Amino acid sequence: MSVIPEPAMTTSLPVLSAAQSQAVDRAIEALWPKALDLLKKMVGTNSVNPLFPGISRGDVIGGETQVSGMLGDFLAGSGLAIHPVAPDPDRVNRVALLKGAGGGRSLLINGHVDTVAAFKPESWSTCSPWNPEVRDGRLYGLGSTDMKSGLVSAALAAAALVAAGIRLKGELQIHAVVGEETMSHELGTTAVLEAGFTAEGGIVVEPTSQPVPLTVSPVGAGNFNLHIDIQGYATHGGNRGPSIRAGGPGMAAGVNAVEKAILIVQALQQLEQEWGTSKVHPAFPAGFFSLCPSVLHGDAGVPSVGYLADRATIGYLVWYPPGNSAEQIRNEIEAQVHRAAQMDPWLREHPPVLRWDSNWPVSDTDPAHPLVRSLVAERTAVLGAMPGGAADTAGFNACCDSAFIEQKGIPCVIFGPGDLRFAHSMNEFVNLSEVTDAARILARAAARWCGVA
């Protein structure tokens, strides 16, 4: 997608006075026990995405609704108006509105309430992914980093502005959405926007931890989920030698689909090497854009080694940079698979079939956009300059709902507590100091962007 241009509006941006900033910080401190309690309750509620691979809807349905409800209750307590949006009545998004005094720009802060499926739930040090535990300044539990803590930071920021008596000019919205982990944005983020809850700027509070915690990230990678099906010719395992040795009958004795799949993996590794130099972006670390063969299945239809496999499937996660179209990426991969197939007598006749399951678009807001600058200014005010002279923005090393907010023409930044390295992993945790730091920055940035009455 293209870079969203800077708006024409360039009036001088009001900033909180020192006394107002102190009032916000004091309010965050006073509200923190209640916010921590909220975060524990949210993490303690199983809200695994009901469409996540391997999950049965009946086991988890309703969790997302409970979590968005908890956040809504907290914000209703600060006087925000709560609106449910639910294309699927069992998966309720909630929007909290803090009306502005008028004359300022509006801002929406978005976070998802669903989580991935728990990785090895029996092996967590907390005994369960849904047993929130605070240890050494960290809160452990599934969804702590990705991204219930981000939502709590946003709620804390809004509640603190109210408690500090700071009236924004523009409206502040908090969107607690379902379905992000399976890109079901039409049930979550996009549904909320299409219900009329839009704004002039957006912040998605996903964990932005690269290169340091709470990095402002105006761009995010795009990705593809791709499966490649490869056909073989199943025969008795005793045909292995004749099928591959010189002078034997070759393909007539059988073809092992598993090894044909490996040829394709090798060809795509070659393309990935090329991408190391051909796919670069200043906001991302060298070599980030890649083709990961994450899943490989192959057999003869029975789970036995006594056959040559007649089917194999490779599942890929493909990361590509802003500035490349999805079509361009698809063409490059298809051409490379085609080239590899042409080199092999069997695959030439039985070409691999590519299934493009999903495409997550890139996020691409201009780092110079005033919304981005608002966040950078307030991050610097609260935490100081980026260490080691690092750039004041960096890419988000994943994809998120900011892409779908941008698709509605809303400039969007990714910024939130937590560490992406521990998202989707066993013993996921968030550093609690990041949750309050994020709240301090979000409250200030909202004041800067929306204006203060």
Q: How far is the CB of 149 from Zn ion (least distance, A)?
A: 11
- 245 neighbors 329 (Cβ within 8 angstroms): no
Binding pattern to Zn ion, positions 198-227, x when CB under 5 A? --------x---------------------
Q: How far is the CB of 424 from Zn ion (least distance, A)?
A: 9
CA distance 80 to 95: 9
Q: How far is the CB of 146 from Zn ion (least distance, A)?
A: 4
- 151 neighbors 430 (Cβ within 8 angstroms): no
Q: How far is the CB of 204 from Zn ion (least distance, A)?
A: 9
Is 64 a residue that touches Zn ion (CB under 5 A)?
Answer: no
Q: How far is the CB of 31 from Zn ion (least distance, A)?
A: 24
Nearer to Zn ion (CB atom), residue 189 or residue 239? 189
CA distance 377 to 439: 15
Nearer to Zn ion (CB atom), residue 228 or residue 430? 430
Q: 342 Cβ partners below 8 Å, 6+ apart?
A: 348
Nearer to Zn ion (CB atom), residue 147 or residue 164? 147
Is 403 a residue that touches Zn ion (CB under 5 A)?
Answer: no
Q: 421 Cβ partners below 8 Å, 6+ apart?
A: 209
Nearer to Zn ion (CB atom), residue 206 or residue 364? 206
Q: How far is the CB of 397 from Zn ion (least distance, A)?
A: 12
Q: How far is the CB of 116 from Zn ion (least distance, A)?
A: 8
Binding segment for Zn ion (CB under 5 A), chosen from 20-28, 58-66, 142-150, 268-276, is 142-150
Nearer to Zn ion (CB atom), residue 149 or residue 290? 149
Q: Restricting to residues 272-291, which ones interact with Zn ion according to CB under 5 A?
A: none
CA distance 171 to 216: 22
DSSP three-state, residue 203: strand
Binding segment for Zn ion (CB under 5 A), chosen from 138-146, 307-315, 347-355, 445-453, is 138-146
Q: 297 Cβ partners below 8 Å, 6+ apart?
A: 312, 313
Beta-bridge partner residues of 236: 307
Binding pattern to Zn ion, positions 373-392, x when CB under 5 A? --------------------
Tokens of 234: 């199943």
Binding segment for Zn ion (CB under 5 A), chosen from 34-42, 48-56, 144-152, 442-450, is 144-152
Nearer to Zn ion (CB atom), residue 143 or residue 322? 143
Q: How far is the CB of 178 from Zn ion (least distance, A)?
A: 12
Nearer to Zn ion (CB atom), residue 112 or residue 379? 112
Residue of minimal Cβ distance to Zn ion = 146
Q: How far is the CB of 432 from Zn ion (least distance, A)?
A: 19
Tokens of 397: 């090393």
SS (H, E, C) 381-414: HHHCCCHHHCCCECCECCCCCHHHHHCCCCCEEE
Q: In what order do the strands lie in the sheet with 311-320?
A: 291-299, 311-320, 222-231, 353-360
Q: DSSP string covering 55-120, please?
A: --HHHHTTHHHHHHHHHHHHHHTTT-EEEEE-SSTTS-EEEEEE---SSS--EEEEEE--BPPPSS
Binding pattern to Zn ion, positions 165-204, x when CB under 5 A? ----------------------------------------
Among 25, 88, 133, 146, binds Zn ion (CB under 5 A): 146
Nearer to Zn ion (CB atom), residue 146 or residue 200? 146
Size of site (CB under 5 A) for Zn ion? 3
Q: How far is the CB of 217 from Zn ion (least distance, A)?
A: 13
Is 147 a residue that touches Zn ion (CB under 5 A)?
Answer: yes
CA distance 145 to 45: 14
Nearer to Zn ion (CB atom), residue 177 or residue 268? 177
Residues making up the chain, counted from first to last: 453
Helix (H) or strand (E) holding 291: strand 291-299
- 205 neighbors 111 (Cβ within 8 angstroms): yes
Nearer to Zn ion (CB atom), residue 55 or residue 296? 55
Q: How far is the CB of 400 from Zn ion (least distance, A)?
A: 6
For the stretch 208-212, contacts whose Cβ atoms lie closer than 8 Å and that sit 24 or more positions apart, written own/partner, are 208/394, 208/396, 208/414, 208/415, 208/416, 208/420, 209/418, 209/419, 209/420, 209/421, 210/285, 210/394, 210/395, 210/396, 210/397, 210/420, 211/386, 211/390, 211/394, 212/386, 212/387, 212/390
Q: How far is the CB of 49 from Zn ion (least distance, A)?
A: 10
Residue 432 has phi, psi (to 5 degrees) of -65, -30
CA distance 200 to 348: 52
Nearer to Zn ion (CB atom), residue 209 or residue 256? 209
Nearer to Zn ion (CB atom), residue 177 or residue 228? 177
Binding pattern to Zn ion, positions 305-344, x when CB under 5 A? ----------------------------------------
Contact residues: Zn ion, CB under 5 A: 146-147, 206
